[in-house]
Structure 1
């Protein structure tokens, strides 16, 4: 079974994001970029499936700018077999919207015929949490989102999902879309020998036009602003005063 894993290049989660002075977006100058953490978890799960003998090949795909090659090489160093880069933007500030990404991934899936698509549940830069669901709709495949455990049993996948009330276990028929949650696994670090080997692994480059997908944005960002700072706390002299303050939310 072939496993397809979409990965996205985002600002490293350890970096403090800065908003441009004119409010037109986020400042990416000299900012460290890395693989979206949820996608990294998806890559790790795909590699584990291969190590168990369930998967035969792990293919990673990224859609965006040419610099996403670095992200794909990281996935290859972790243990993926080959990579596909779909160049859909020239400017690093251009974020390809989920619907366009889903359409391209649907075309890639039609060409690759994977038995399973494993992706992160969302990207930490825009928090859309929509691509996996849109892709499932376009392909007509079953979906299992927010996965904290994945077990492949023949032609089916048993997935434990994280929901508000705790955990939900569902069974989906393959091929299917599974989106990884934080507790699915702990991604491995790529060793130096594997980093060197990754440079020789195949990385195919395509464009959005090759798949006949229009990536023109449908949304316009009106303004980007930093969140307001937290207001200072107050001290109360007694329990009665605390209760009075809690009743009057505006006084806190």
Structure 2
């Protein structure tokens, strides 16, 4: 069974982002970049399935700038076998990314497609669902557990108020949630081996996709600072403040 895993290059989760002075976006100058955490979880799950003998080959793919090769190499250090970078410096939307991935799916013919449930930069949570629709396959989002037997996948999903377990026929698209697993620490020998693994560079045009997006960012700004709390001396005072100041009751 072949698994295809999509990964995205984003600002490292431990970095406090800075807004550009003109509020047009996030300042990426000299900022540490990493694999999107949810994408890293998807790669780890594919590697664990390979270790169980369920998956025979793992292909990681990213759509973006040339620098995304770094994140693809990191994914191969985790255990992926080879990588594909669909290189573009143009802005590209979620639908266009999904179309590129559909082209790669048609080319690679994986039985399992894994993605992070969302990227921490835009939090759009769209690509997995769009890809499933374009492929005409089943989908399971927000996965916290995956079990594969034969041509079926049982996926436990995190939903409001509990857990839902569904069964999918393969090929299928699954997006990973935070509690699916904890990615392993990459060792230096694995990083060295990853440098020798195959990494193909292609373009969106190779899959008949034009770059660009119909979405336009109007303004990016920091959230308002939270006001300091106050202490109350009685229940009556608390109720009075909730009613007359906060106006929530």
Coarse TM-score class (shorter-chain normalised): over 0.9
Ranges in structure 2 where 5+ consecutive residues have no aligned partner: none
Mapping for residues 112-191 of structure 1, pairs under 5 Å: 112-191=108-187
SS in 2 for 1:74: helix
Aligned counterpart, 2:61: 61
**Whole-Å Cα distance in 2 between the matches of residues 80 and 43 of structure 1?**
7
- Indicate the RMSD between aligned Cα atoms, in angstroms: 1.1
Query: After superposition, what is the alpha-carbon deviation per residue over 1:39-91, rounded to whole angstroms, capped at 9, x for unaligned?
Result: 0000000000000000000000000000000000000001100000001225x
Q: How many Å separate the matches in 2 of 1:198 and 1:11?
A: 22
Match of 2:233 in 1: 237
Q: Is 1:100 aligned to residue 96 of structure 2? A: yes
Task: Call closer, same or farther: CA 1:248–1:21 in 2, change over 3 Å.
Answer: same
- 1:189 deviates by 1.3
Matches of 2:88 and 2:68 in 1, distance apart?
Answer: 11
**Distance in 1 between the 2:129 and 2:213 partners?**
19
Give the drift of 1:251: 5.7
* Alignment correspondent of 1:71: 71
- State the distance in 2 between where 1:248 and 1:148 align: 43
Q: Distance in 2 between matches of 1:217 and 1:235?
A: 49
Q: What SS is found at the alignment partner of 1:109?
A: helix
Q: Provide the secondary structure at the position in 1 that maps to 2:18.
A: coil
For structure 1, the 5+ residue unaligned runs are none
1:249, distance to aligned residue in structure 2 (A): 5.5
Q: Which runs of 4+ in 1 moved over 3 A?
A: none
Aligned-partner Cα distance in 2 for 1:40–1:248? 47
TM-score (norm 1): 0.96
How far does residue 155 in structure 1 lie from its aligned partner after superposition?
0.7
CA distance in 2, matches of 1:12, 1:45: 20
Normalised by the length of structure 2, the TM-score is 0.97
1:68-115 deviation per Cα after TM superposition (whole angstroms, max 9, x unaligned) = 00000000001100000001225xxx4x21101000000000000000
